[in-house]
Amino acid sequence: MRTLLIIDAQNDFMPGGALAVPEGDEILPLVNELQPKFELVIATQDWHPAGHASFASSHENGKEFEVIKLDGLDQVLWPEHCVQNTRGADFHPKLETSGIEAIFRKGTNPKIDSYSGFYDNAHLKSTGLTGYLKEKGATELYFVGLAADYCVYFSIKDALDEGFDCTLIEDGTRALKAEDYEKAKIDILRKGGKVIRSTNLKF
């Protein structure tokens, strides 16, 4: 069954937001247009408690976008973003949400970051998304949302590992950094995922 996964289409990742992805809002008309073509539409939501360990402000002398070691893992220190129950964590007002059947929240553990919609960055805890999708009979997953080089990329990697057929719809995503996105795409293709433009969708 064909399923659309909308990753983190939240205010803080849009222009003007705390961790803005350039042109992030430009994906919204396409994301809305695509939804009715899918039998199942799911969204993820980055949902951090205040003082989350991924925020530069949670570390003494922490600088935004610097990479540190956090419990043995590389961690980019981000601006404070997607804090639970703030406007920045809300879906963008232009995102059509009436067809979204379920929302999976991630990044809720204060001590560990979670880019993927499936697992935290240390793969300690699952969000339950794999089980949900399997129980629903979802086999082909199509990905849109933000950011292409972080949460979209990490979600696709986990989904491929979980045995799903995965396709990234390129014009339905934007990256924080173009060069990281180019590397991510190469890795997705190498692992057996597909990268297409929406005009090449055959349904």
What does the angle CA 171 – CA 38 – CA 87 come to, to the nearest 5 degrees? Answer: 65
Give the nearer residue to Zn ion in terms of CB position, either 35 or 44. 44
Answer for the pair 44, 155: CB distance below 8 angstroms, yes or no. yes
Give the nearer residue to ligand VGL in terms of CB position, either 145 or 164. 145
Task: Assess whether 166 carries a catalytic annotation.
Answer: no
Give the nearer residue to ligand VGL in terms of CB position, either 14 or 147. 147
Q: How far is the CB of 153 from ligand VGL (least distance, A)?
A: 8
The active-site residue out of 12, 46, 82, 106 is 106
Site for ligand VGL in 139-178 (CB under 6 A): 146-147, 150-151
Count residues near ligand VGL (CB under 6 A).
Answer: 9
CA-nearest of 40, 23, 17 to 170 is 23
146 binds, among ligand VGL, Zn ion, none (CB under 5 to 8 A by kind): ligand VGL
Task: Assess whether 106 carries a catalytic annotation.
Answer: yes
What strands, in cross-sheet order, belong to the sheet with 102-106? 102-106, 40-46, 2-7, 140-145, 165-173, 194-196
Q: How far is the CB of 135 from ligand VGL (least distance, A)?
A: 25
26 torsion bin: left (phi>0), alpha (psi -120 to 50), beta (else): alpha
d(CA 160, CA 80): 30
Interacting residues toward ligand VGL by CB under 6 A: 8, 13, 46, 78, 115, 146-147, 150-151
